Amino acid sequence: MKFLLASLLLGLVSAFGFQPLSLWPLTLLAFAGMLWLIDEAPSLRSALARGWWFGVGQFTLGLNWIATAFTFQAKMPPWLGWVAVLLLSLYLAVYPAMATGLAWRWGRGSRARLILVLAAAWIVTEWLRATMFTGFAWNPVGVVLIDSWTKWAATVVGTYGLSALLILLSGLLWVILSIRSWLRFPLAAALILLVMIDLKLVDRSKEGTPADSLQIRIVQPNIGQQDKWRDGFEEENLARLARLTGPPATRPRLVLWPEAAVTDPLGDNRPLAAAKVEALRQRVGRLLGPGDLLLTGGITLISPDGDKVTQATNSVFAMDASGQVLGRFDKAHLVPYGEYLPMRPLLSAIGLSRLAPGDLDYIPGPGAQTLTLPLVGEVGFQLCYEIIFSGEVVDDGNRPAFIFNPSNDAWFGRWGPPQHLAQARLRALEEGLPVLRATPTGISAIVDAEGRLLHSLAWRTAGVIDAALPAAKPPTLFARLGNLAPFLFALLLAAIAVAIRRKAR
């Protein structure tokens, strides 16, 4: 029992490395402790249990922001949010358990082999977590290294490979701390200090932004989830967007609004709704200068018979000053319970509902797309939650110049927005593309093609970011190979472990 309690506590400590705390040396120490616990496990069942409790601790603390979402849904009590966090953590912990079980089965008897197998297994199980049952890729452990020089491994082996690198570093720390000498403590400190080198100390924020670069204005209206869908708030919503968008500039601008910034439908295929939709589009267009381009989140209503609305899409609309829609992107990776209710007949019968207001389920779009638009050229889109899925954010056949990631983090509490931003930075680093984020309550940001945070707006503040579009970089190795890269890395680690085992024999 004491080992299971130690596993749970180590899992909790490992979550301190995630945003907003960013105490990632504790994550290294926690995984070093986890390796020791696996090594000491007397059986496969014990190793699985220790990995599972480690996962329960990590996910319960790291995903605490999910409980906040339930405070915006009147149909369900707020305490149910913490039940949801715990139940989700109990499920997600299966994946660390699988990794620790594989490490014990194929790595025990040699510290080096145990470390290598756990790192390889973590790549596979973290990918499975992002894939199974629609996937939940939030907080891969490699994201804690986003401000360390070691983050550059993501350009080669991606996020899952970066997670494996964290385990390799933790394994080295475990080996150092096992030395029976006073030298183990200065050596451990030296390892952590070496990894702590932060390349942000070198200011290269103006690289790749020529004077004639496209001018961007990102709008953050600070409209909370408690107000966004309130009856009668539509006028105040548009008024805030108008004030922050401001008068036309001397040069054409790319204006970016958040997810669902326009709460009334900007798309509706019913003939009776055509005049209302057109009037709204023109009203939005009048807020722009003659050469401006607006990318805004909005809703598309779909009626198969032209009368009754049965479906909707969560969309991004590209609009000009005349209100004309020049392109539309529909979100593909939808959030269960947020944008649709799984098993609706059953769950509705027991009183459950979507966390977002409304009973209409959204339907998915076709996936990663690049739209060719005036003023900006090729633009990639990832709407909110979609940005967390490594290797799935770019149209391979048509590489964009940047990725626009509008989001609504207003119901994610204090921990969710910085965690979301950290994962967006990883996508920029992996793909070698800038990422532009617009959110209603923060954190809106401009991230360059090396994952550096160039500009941001604080949580729960209203404001704008005026800046030039950072340049894209040539495709990284990961951008060319996708998630084949981390799997090749896993095979390499496993092959080294096998070689060590054969040599020992």
Can you state the percent helix, strand and coil of the chain, rounding each to 5?
A: 50, 15, 40
Catalytic residue among 126, 151, 228, 259: 259
- Within its chain, how far is the Cα of 158 from the centroid? 14
Backbone conformation region of residue 484, classed left if phi is above 0, alpha if psi is from -120 to 50, else beta: alpha
DSSP of 191-244? HHHHHT--GGGS--TTTT--TTSPEEEEEE----HHHHTSTT-HHHHHHHHHHH
Q: What is the pLDDT of residue 203?
A: 45
Instruction: For residue 323, give every residue at least 6 positions away whose Cβ sits within 8 Å of its Cβ, in sequence order, or none.
Output: 278, 281, 282, 283, 284, 285, 286
CA distance 51 to 205: 41
Pairing of strands 325-330, 311-319: antiparallel
Give yes or no for a contact between 218 and 258, defined as CB atoms under 8 angstroms apart: no
259 in catalytic set: yes
Residue (of 130, 27, 180, 210) closest to 391 by Cα position? 130
Taking CA 295 as the corner, what is the angle to CA 294 and CA 296, rounded to the nearest 5 degrees?
A: 110
d(CA 383, CA 381): 6
Q: What is the pLDDT of residue 347?
A: 45
- Strand bridging mode 435-438 / 445-447: antiparallel
DSSP string of 260-285? Answer: T-S-S-SEE--GGGHHHHHHHHHHHH
pLDDT tens, position by position, for the chain (505 residues)? 888 999 999 999 999 999 999 999 999 999 999 999 999 999 999 999 999 999 999 999 999 998 887 776 655 677 777 888 999 999 999 999 999 999 999 998 899 999 999 999 999 999 999 999 889 999 999 999 999 999 999 999 999 999 999 999 999 999 998 888 777 888 888 888 888 876 444 445 445 455 567 899 999 999 877 666 677 778 888 889 999 999 888 889 999 999 989 989 999 989 988 899 999 999 999 999 999 999 999 999 988 888 888 889 999 999 999 999 999 999 998 877 666 555 444 444 444 554 555 567 788 888 899 999 999 999 999 999 899 999 999 998 899 999 999 999 877 888 999 999 999 999 999 999 999 999 999 899 999 999 999 999 999 999 999 999 999 999 999 999 999 999 999 999 999 998 887 776 6
Residue 236 is predicted with a pLDDT of 85
503 is catalytic: no
Q: For the chain, what are the domain ranges?
A: 2-203+483-504, 215-468
Which residues contact residue 290 at a Cβ distance below 8 angstroms, ignoring those fewer than 6 apart?
248, 252, 321
Rounded to an integer, what distance in angstroms lies between the CA atom of residue 295 and that of residue 297?
7
Give catalytic status of residue 206 as yes or no.
Answer: no
Residue 246 is which amino acid? G
Cα separation, 91 vs 37, whole angstroms: 21
Rounded to whole angstroms, how far apart are CA atoms 140 and 167? 12
Q: How far apart are CA 165 and CA 149, in angstroms?
A: 12
Q: Do you find a cis peptide bond into 474, omega within 30 degrees of 0?
A: no
From the list 331, 386, 431, 473, the catalytic residue is 331
What whole-number distance in Å separates Cα of residue 357 and Cα of residue 240?
22
Q: What is the pLDDT of residue 308?
A: 86
Helix residue spans in 343-415 (DSSP H): 344-349
How far is residue 334's CA from residue 362's CA, in Å, rounded to a whole number? 8
Indicate which residue of 228, 339, 384, 431 is catalytic.
Answer: 384
Superfamily the domain 215-468 falls into: Carbon-nitrogen hydrolase (3.60.110.10)
